[in-house]
Structure formats: C-alpha cells, structure tokens
Amino acid sequence: MENLQKIDLPIARSLQRELERQRHTLEMIPSENFVSLAVLEALGSVATNKYAEGYPGKRYYGGCEFIDEIETLAIERAKELFGANYINVQPLSGAPANMAAYFGLLEPGDVILGMDLSHGGHLTHGSPVTFMSKIFDFKRYRTTTDGLIDYTGIHDLAVKFKPKMILMGYSAYSREIDFQKIHEIAQEVEAYTMADIAHIAGLIAAGEMNNPCPLFDIVTTTTHKTLRGPRGGMIMCKDQDVAKRINKAVFPGLQGGPHENNIAAKAVAFKEALQPEFKEYIKQVKKNAKVLEQEIKKTDIRICFGTTDNHLLLLDVTPKGISGKQAEQALDKAGITVNKNMIPDDTRSPMDPSGIRIGTPAITTRGMKEDEMKQIAAWIEQALNNYDNDAELEKIRNDVKELTERFPIYPELKY
C-alpha cells in the first residue's frame, strides 16, 4: 500500500489500526466475516474505473467486453451455487436488493407479510422506521413461545389480509425455515414468495440448510456474511417473467452503473464457495455454534429460540442484571466484538435492548474449532459477570490477543 501511504497517510494509518483491531479481537458479529486476499484484490481492481449501465451484451456504454466476461462469470457461478434459473448480481447490497424485489413485483399499498424485527426479522422486512413501510402495507408475523416461526399464525394472517407477497428471512433467528410450508400457504392465497437468505446464504450454498430457490419466486441475499464475499447484494429468480421485472427494477429503476469491481470480487467469492473446502468450513461454522450453545446453556444467560440450527445465537443477558448495550460494551473491552440486539417482545429500546447476537463465521474462518469455542464461551461469561470491572476485562483482552495470535489473519497485509 505504498501509494496510499504517500497520498493519504491519515487514511493509511486508520486502515492499519483497523487491521490490527481485526487481527487481535474475536469478531463474533454473525453478519461479519473475513474475505480472502483474492477477493480484496478483485475489489481494489481496475474494474472500478468502468461504467457499464445495462446487462451483459446489452450495455449503454462501449468498452464493456471484458466487464461482460466478469459479470457473466459471477452469474454462472452463482447459478451453480444455488440452483437458481436467473440471477442479477448488480444490487449494491441486501437492502437495495429487497427494494428491487418489492418494486419489481408489487404496487404501492400492497400487503406484504414479513417477520417482526424483535422476533429475528430485518429492518427491510417492514420495520416502521424504514421508507419501505411507508409505501407497502407490512403485516408482521412472530415466533411462538417455544421459539419456532409461527406457521399457523402466518397462514391465518395470509387468509385474513390476502398479501401479494409472503417474505421469509431473518437477521437474528437461529432456526431452520420450512420453505415448503410457506410455499403452500402462498399458493393458497395466490401470493408471491420471497426469501431473504442474507444471513444463511453460505449455509444454503454448502447444502447445510434448506434452499428456497427451487420453490420461491424470488430470493435475495447479501454476498458477504456466511458467503464470505465482498459487501454486496444479489437477486435470484425461478421464472423468466419475474427475472425480467427484477432486472428492470434494479436498472434503470433503482440503480445506475453497477460497481463492477464489486461484481468481480463476488465472482471470486462464488468460485471459492464452490470448492470442497468451503463446505467443510460451513460444517465447522455450525459445529462451533453448537458448542457455544452447549457451553452458554451452563450459565444463566438465556438462549432465545431455544437452540441454534445455523451460525448464530441470540442471547438474553437480562439474567445478568445488565442490558444488551452494557454487554456489548463489556465484551468490546474484553476484545470480543458482538452487537446488542432486541429479543422477542423486548420491552427495551433498540439502542439499549435486552440481548446480544453472537456468531461463528469469522472466528471459524480464522481456523478456530470446538476447543476454542469452549474457551470463548468461558470468557463471555466472565466478561458479563465483570461488566463494570475494567481490570478484569483487560485481563480477558490480553488472553484473547494471545489466542488470536495463534490464528492469524492477513499476515501479508500492511497499510
């Protein structure tokens, strides 16, 4: 990074400090991961210089022949990963992908069934604070008292409100989804089916969770998180008519020129995800999450939804006498990065909720396995018990640093 250091030393220094933070802390936010150096190289490539409005073979700019090659490779590799018939790799991230799905298939005022945010859903699934909630009429379903998606409740809401779309997906739910059951409900009320698999895309690609692509009309995802690619979005469709409408909604409906450097990085990540090593990685992600669950169940921390079938755990920390914000801050001081998170029917505010969300994708990318999970669970318990004891938290941080040095990331990289 010699040129960066010469041109903008303050940015280079901040990036170096961020690199050191990533190297010496345990990244346990379940939506974060570490991309490969190959993905980083593609992301910082000359493809960033090229405008390419339109789609491969149908561009509004000249000089796109090699960009077409890149985008076509990304599409074909994604098709192989997910078994989808049509794919758009241009969405800039997950939220724009969801917006394109809504605007491509629906009219303002149409009813959408989406998962309640506090029960594990996402902001873009109808949270009142979002712009989309002002355009479409979202009805929210929840989980049952035993921690499962309330499929009976979804059916009752579908019959009552006759939605144009039933949306499945989550950001903090830790269980499997019965896409077949949702497909049947949607057929009964003649609704589109949409799945947002942003958090579980890597698990689905590796065959470790149910795949909605053969059943659902439209499937959106981010390309980072468990898929371990660059920050970006993607939309997959089953039928050609739906795909055409989605393509128009992405461009020219919501976006101009696609970020082709990002699409190149997506293509690299998809190739990596097609390798046998990626399947083994995802299996270890799930094993690690399960060990964390087993260890945390030995404490007084409550695991929401009862268990985990994927890469994450939503934890209620109120038995510790603290809030999710206090837990996040304490763990941050201890060198363990998590995010505060609402729990089902949380009585606290989103900025100071009752829970935290933890996950295993990034620490598994570093090579950590079951033994490390047991130690990490012990540190989490120790940190939360000492949330107001900075000296004790500093001791944990030093132990965390020692562990991370045994599992280095980006040893070649220096800003």
Buried-state track 75-91, b at ≥16 Cβ within 10 A, e below 16: bebbbebbebebbbbbb
Rounded to an integer, the average pLDDT of 276-283 is: 98
At residue 41, the pLDDT reads: 97
Based on the domain organization, do 264 and 390 belong to the same domain? Answer: no
pLDDT-derived band at 271 (thresholds 50, 70, 90) equals very high
Residue 32 has pLDDT above 90, yes or no: yes
pLDDT, tens digit, for every residue of 73-83? 999 999 999 99
Based on the domain organization, do 269 and 305 belong to the same domain? Answer: no
pLDDT-derived band at 58 (thresholds 50, 70, 90) equals very high
Rounded to an integer, the average pLDDT of 107-114 is: 96
Q: What phi-psi label fits residue 207: left (phi over 0), alpha (psi between -120 and 50 degrees) or beta?
A: left
At residue 125, the pLDDT reads: 86
Rounded to an integer, the average pLDDT of 141-147 is: 87
- Out of 210, 244, 273, a domain closes at 273
Instruction: Tell me if 184 is assigned to some domain.
Output: yes
The number of residues making up the chain comes to 415
Q: What is the pTM of this model?
A: 0.96
Among 130-144, 175-189, 330-344, 356-370, which is the least confidently predicted range?
Answer: 130-144
Based on the domain organization, do 249 and 307 belong to the same domain? Answer: no
Based on the domain organization, do 55 and 177 belong to the same domain? Answer: yes
Strands 58-59 and 54-55: antiparallel
Instruction: Tell me if 354 is assigned to some domain.
Output: yes
Tokens of 122: 């996402």
Q: Count of alpha carbons within 13 Å of 174, Cβ hemisphere only?
A: 27
Q: What phi-psi label fits residue 129: left (phi over 0), alpha (psi between -120 and 50 degrees) or beta?
A: alpha
Based on the domain organization, do 293 and 372 belong to the same domain? Answer: yes
Burial class (CB in 10 A: 0-12, 13-18, 19+), 231: middle
Residues 6+ apart with CB under 8 A from 382: 334, 392, 396
Residue 334 has pLDDT above 90, yes or no: yes
Based on the domain organization, do 115 and 184 belong to the same domain? Answer: yes
Buried-state track 306-335, b at ≥16 Cβ within 10 A, e below 16: eebbbbbbbbbbbebebbbbbbbbbbebbb
Please give the tally of structural domains in the chain: 2
Residue 399 has pLDDT above 90, yes or no: yes
At residue 105, the pLDDT reads: 97
Residues 6+ apart with CB under 8 A from 378: 295
Instruction: Tell me if 262 is assigned to some domain.
Output: yes
Q: The domain that contains 327 carries what CATH number?
A: 3.90.1150.10
At residue 121, the pLDDT reads: 83
Strand residues in 276-390 grouped as ranges (E): 302-303, 312-316, 336-337, 339-341, 355-359
Based on the domain organization, do 263 and 290 belong to the same domain? Answer: no
Q: Catalytic site residues?
A: 51, 53, 196, 222, 225, 231
Q: At what angle do helices 276-296 and 370-385 cross, to 10 degrees?
A: 40
Instruction: Tell me if 389 is assigned to some domain.
Output: yes
What share of the chain in percent tops pLDDT 90? 92
Residue 343 has pLDDT above 90, yes or no: yes
Rounded to an integer, the average pLDDT of 190-208 is: 97
Residues 6+ apart with CB under 8 A from 289: 308, 310, 311, 312, 313, 359, 360
At residue 379, the pLDDT reads: 98
At residue 123, the pLDDT reads: 81
Nearest to 361 by CA among 292, 294, 299: 292
At residue 68, the pLDDT reads: 98
Residue 276 has pLDDT above 90, yes or no: yes
Instruction: Tell me if 34 is assigned to some domain.
Output: no
At residue 179, the pLDDT reads: 96
- Out of 249, 273, 297, a domain closes at 273
pLDDT-derived band at 8 (thresholds 50, 70, 90) equals very high
Based on the domain organization, do 208 and 286 belong to the same domain? Answer: no
At residue 260, the pLDDT reads: 98
At residue 140, the pLDDT reads: 92
- Out of 251, 273, 295, a domain closes at 273
What share of the chain in percent tops pLDDT 70? 100
Mean pLDDT of the chain: 96
pLDDT-derived band at 137 (thresholds 50, 70, 90) equals very high
Rounded to an integer, the average pLDDT of 334-343 is: 97
Cα 90 to Cα 5, 21, 97: the distances in Å are 31, 31, 9
Alpha carbon distance 27, 30 (integer Å): 8
Q: What phi-psi label fits residue 190: left (phi over 0), alpha (psi between -120 and 50 degrees) or beta?
A: left
Based on the domain organization, do 113 and 236 belong to the same domain? Answer: yes
Alpha carbon distance 164, 103 (integer Å): 12
Residues 6+ apart with CB under 8 A from 89: 71, 74, 75, 78, 232, 234, 263, 266
Q: The domain that contains 56 carries what CATH number?
A: 3.40.640.10
Instruction: Tell me if 393 is assigned to some domain.
Output: yes
At residue 330, the pLDDT reads: 98
At residue 339, the pLDDT reads: 97
Based on the domain organization, do 179 and 229 belong to the same domain? Answer: yes
Determine the residue type at 178. D
Based on the domain organization, do 371 and 254 belong to the same domain? Answer: no
Alpha carbon distance 84, 301 (integer Å): 40
Residue 146 has pLDDT above 90, yes or no: no
Nearest to 262 by CA among 229, 225, 235: 229
Based on the domain organization, do 120 and 267 belong to the same domain? Answer: yes
Instruction: Tell me if 115 is assigned to some domain.
Output: yes
Helix, coil or strand: residue 193: strand
pLDDT-derived band at 145 (thresholds 50, 70, 90) equals confident
Instruction: Tell me if 414 is assigned to some domain.
Output: no
Give me the domain span that covers residue 349.
280-406
